Amino acid sequence: MISRPANVASRRARRRLSGSQIVVGIAGAVLTTLVFFAISADWVAPYDPLKQNLIEALQGPSAAHWLGTDDLGRDVLSRLLYGCRIAIVAAAEATTLAVVLGVPIGLFIGYRGGWWDWIVMRIVEAIVSIPGIMVAIVIIAILGAGLHRAMIALGILFSTSFLRLARGVVLAEREEIYVRSARVVGASDSRILLRHIFPNIAPPLIVQITLTVGAVLLAEAGLSFIGLGVQPPQASWGTMLNSAAAFMDLNWFLAVPPGVAIIVTVLSVNLIGDVIRDSIGRGIAVVARPAAAAARHASLPVATSDGPLPPPRPDEVLRVEGLEVTVSTPDGDELALITELSLSISKGETLGLVGESGSGKTLTGLAILGLLGAALGTTRGSILLNGRDLRSLSQRRLEEVRGNEVAMVFQDPTTSLNPAFTVGSQIAEVLRAKQHLTRKQAWSRAVELIDRVGIPRPEERARAYPHELSGGMAQRIAIARALSCNPSLLIADEPTTALDVTVQQEILDLFRDLQNEFGMAVLFVTHDLAVAADICDRISVMYAGQVVEMAEVNQLFARPLHPYTRGLLTAMPHASDHNPPLPTIRGSVPRPGSWPAGCRFSNRCDFRIDACDRRIPLTGSGRLVRCIRAEELVLEAAQ
């Protein structure tokens, strides 16, 4: 954990967090009070809410009647407290009915599809095309006026929201691999829906419930106000507003208590809903990094021209020195994810970035591109692309650099390509945005690029959608899009992992051909050392957010200097004859915040000594290593 108590941004983050906690606390207290009064109104209310006294009608607040009296002399405070009960009952009835009706039907039609889905969705579309209050009035006209009938009407009305929510989730989840796996093992449709798919609807369902509760409270008050909900003389906030509206000239304060009660309750419910939305499910809220986060730390590179990296070369494209990437925690501190990262790549060179999952390989590529999330940011070091520090650029200037000077190929082409557009239009879009070509010129160039990456019938394939292409073709399209503006640096994030072995080799050959043609530098992220040996000139080994070794490919494979590199090499499946069994590295990569104080590999290393508990820098000339025993240990790679 990197603690900076004097940091102004951290103090502001803590104040924002404290402020949100106070607001949530107030909202929770309001709803707790509402429930308490709803339960204990018979004992807490000072008067019978139906007791009339015309002599004391339309009085203002007094010691006897804290909130005054209405047009029939009834105590406003007592009626307000009993109105809490009506609000709870109304919200519970309508919301429960909406969930019970909407969710099962949505799950069913989303999973079954076909004419069931078509008929139900046409009915839903007809309902939602009419203003909701009008639908409720029509239903009440059929069922009759009254609280419970009004809530049935609202339950039917709001069930459409839950139906569409459930249907949308099921449509997305039913084609996932885990659902197909459940079908393979013989799970019934009902079990798949309830056991596998329904848990995915729970987080958005809870949020939708809170939103519906607030909407029901407003709708109930509105229906009671116009005489279609709670009927006089029952006490509800809507009927109280109805009475106040008729006597506004005589006592304007009469409308204040029920109006404030409705506003405060609905706001409190919505605030709680926001907290639930940000706390569960797939969208975990994070503390956003301030806009000026990049400027709150001085650039403090760990490695300079006098350090491990050699002095800049004339043909150097990328030079990263002392890079640090952190994530903002909820308490305002910063947790380091990558530290002391230094590397350089020259024109026409391929640098491999290897390591286990969680080492920080992909995060390094995203940091170079400036595509880190809201809570992530680079806090130290420099990222020099063609001699220009990307960390010093504004967001607008950085957007100009992306695509033109640096591009990225992602691991899975089926997710990096937009399924709603043809592949040719996606390449042409880049050319029109970055090089300002006309529509015709961009399309012609897109076809040329598709032909260049080895796809037959490029004109025909340009009009295809991503799902119509094989994995290898889709990855070639992704490469063509990345190279459309001839960038000087290409970041390839495990571009062959999702492909079969034969297609992998074709893609690697394509990378070599394109690199020779365009002369670009390549940062190749991979966990497959065999791929790295085939495509890379140098390899940088990462572990727990640090570079632990960097060397030429042949040197690294012939004699690794770091125990972690040796462990990776001996664990390669094709590097072992299975006699003895395939070696493994015990343990796993430690999570950020739980790294050992010295060497981060020490808790998994067979050669650990007490000196490994001290900070160990990256040392060497030519090839670099972060190990104090590198010279005395003789580590052999698997043969």
Between strands 376-385 and 316-328, the pairing is antiparallel
Segment among 29-33, 138-142, 519-523, 602-606 with least mean pLDDT: 138-142
Sign of CA dihedral 511, 517, 518, 521: positive
> What tokens were used for 356?
């286990």
The answer to whether residue 296 scores a pLDDT higher than 80 is no
The amino acid sitting at 199 is: P
Query: Is 322:336 a contact under the CB 8 Å cutoff?
Result: no
Cα separation, 488 vs 520, in Å, equals 5
Cα(90)–Cα(86) distance, integer angstroms: 6
Q: Which residue in 451, 446, 512 sits closest to 482, CA to CA?
A: 446
Tens-digit pLDDT profile for residues 382-404? 999 998 999 988 888 888 888 88
- Checking if the pLDDT of 578 tops 70, the result is no
Query: Can you say how many angstroms the Cα of residue 126 is from the centroid of all Cα atoms in its chain?
Result: 34
Strands 316-328, 350-354: parallel, antiparallel or unpaired by DSSP? unpaired
* pLDDT for the residue 306: 41
**Residues in Cβ contact with 108 at an 8 Å cutoff, skipping those fewer than 6 apart:** 116, 193
Residue 74's contacts (CB-CB under 8 Å, 6 or more residues apart) are 47, 49, 50, 51, 52, 53
| Contact of 102 with 127, CB cutoff 8 Å | no
CA R_g for the chain: 33
Predicted confidence (pLDDT) per residue in 518-574, tens digit = 889 999 999 888 889 989 999 999 999 999 999 999 999 988 999 999 888 887 765
Measured N-to-C along each axis, helices 439-452 and 471-482 cross at an angle, to the nearest 10 degrees, of 130
| Dist. CA 568–CA 638, nearest whole Å | 9
Count the helices and strands in the chain (H runs, E runs): 21, 11
Q: What is the pLDDT of residues 45-97, one digit of tens each?
A: 899 888 888 888 888 888 888 898 988 889 989 999 998 999 999 999 999 99
With DSSP H G I counted as helix, E B as strand and the rest as coil, what are the percentages for the chain, rounded to 5? 55, 10, 35
Share of the chain above pLDDT 70, in %: 88
Q: Please answer whether residues 426 and 417 qualify as being in contact, where contact means their C-beta atoms are separated by less than 8 angstroms.
A: yes
Residue 199 has pLDDT above 90, yes or no: no
Q: What is the pLDDT of residue 471?
A: 83
**Between vectors from CA 464 to CA 460 and to CA 470, what angle results, nearest 5°?**
105
For residue 147, what pLDDT is reported? 82
What are 402's strand-pairing partners? Answer: 406
For range 14-24, the mean pLDDT = 62
> Out of 66-70, 230-234, 337-341, 630-634, which region has the weakest mean confidence (pLDDT)?
630-634
Q: What angle do CA 431, 487, 362 make, to 5 degrees?
A: 110
Q: What is the pLDDT of residues 425-461, one digit of tens each?
A: 999 988 988 888 999 999 999 999 999 888 999 999 9
Instruction: Locate all alpha helices (DSSP H) within 113-197, ordered by sequence.
Output: 114-128, 132-143, 147-173, 177-184, 189-191
Q: What is the mean pLDDT of residues 404-423?
A: 84
**Residue (of 358, 362, 375, 367) closest to 600 by Cα position:** 358
Q: Which range has the worst mean pLDDT, 193-207, 289-303, 311-325, 333-347?
A: 289-303
**What's the token pair of residue 433?**
């945005």
Give the pLDDT score at 536: 93
Interior angle at CA 387, CA 296 and CA 346, nearest 5: 120
Beta-bridge partners for 490: 407, 522
Mean of per-residue pLDDT scores for the chain: 83
Q: Which two tokens stand for residue 40?
A: 């204990």
Which pLDDT score, from 0 to 100, does residue 304 have?
Answer: 41
Strand partners, 368: none
Tokens at residue 108, please? 């069913």
Q: In the predicted model, what is the mean pLDDT of residues 614-628?
A: 86
pLDDT tens digits for range 95-120: 999 999 999 999 899 888 888 889 99
Average pLDDT over residues 183-193: 75
Structure-token pair, residue 206: 């809870």
| CB distance 376 to 356 below 8 Å | no
- Pairing mode of beta strands 546-552, 538-543: antiparallel
Whole-number Cα distances in Å, 405 to 20, 178, 317, 342: 41, 39, 10, 20
The first and second tokens of residue 292, run together, are: 């000026």
Pull the structure tokens for residue 136.
């409720």
Placement of tokens 């009475």 in the chain? 243
What's 600's DSSP letter?
T
Q: At what angle do helices 114-128 and 76-112 cross, to 10 degrees?
A: 150
Q: What pLDDT is attached to residue 460?
A: 93
Q: What is the mean pLDDT of residues 197-202?
A: 78
CA atoms within 13 A on the CB side of 590: 15
Question: Cβ(344)–Cβ(575) under 8 Å?
Answer: no
* Cα–Cα dist 193/546, whole Å: 44
Weakest mean pLDDT among 111-115, 135-139, 254-258, 301-305? 301-305
Lowest mean pLDDT among 34-38, 299-303, 418-422: 299-303
Calpha distance 347→525 (Å, rounded)? 17
For residue 280, the model assigns a pLDDT of 57
Backbone torsion region of residue 345, taken as left when φ is above 0, otherwise alpha when ψ lies between -120 and 50, otherwise beta: beta
What integer pLDDT is reported at residue 524 of this predicted model?
Answer: 94
User: Are 332 and 10 contacting, i.e. CB atoms less than 8 angstroms apart?
Assistant: yes
Answer yes or no: are the C-beta atoms of 110 and 167 closer than 8 Å: yes
pLDDT attached to residue 28: 85
Out of 269-283, 535-549, 582-596, pick the least confident: 269-283
Write the single-letter amino acid at 27. A
Share of the chain above pLDDT 90, in %: 22
Work out the widest C-alpha separation in the chain, in whole angstroms: 103
Any idea of the CA torsion for 165, 170, 171, 176, to the nearest 10 degrees? Answer: 140
Coil vs helix vs strand at 72: coil
Output the pLDDT for position 582. 67
Separation of alpha carbons 203 and 97, rounded Å? 19
User: Cα–Cα distances in Å, from 426 out to 145, 461, 495, 528, 529?
Assistant: 56, 12, 19, 30, 32
Confidence of residue 187 (pLDDT cuts 50, 70, 90): confident
Residue range 184-212: mean pLDDT, rounded:
80
- Let me know: does 543 contact 589? Beta carbons within 8 Å: yes
Q: What's the pLDDT at 444?
A: 94
Query: Looking at residue 196, what is its pLDDT?
Result: 79
130 pLDDT band, cuts 50/70/90, is confident
Q: Indicate the pLDDT class of residue 7, thresholds 50, 70 and 90.
A: very low
> What's residue 364's pLDDT?
92
Beta bridge partners, 346, equal 316
Residue 246 pLDDT: 85
Q: What is the pLDDT of residue 201?
A: 77
Decide which of 540 and 170 is more confident: 540
Whether residue 1 has pLDDT greater than 60: no
pLDDT at residue 488 is higher than 90: yes
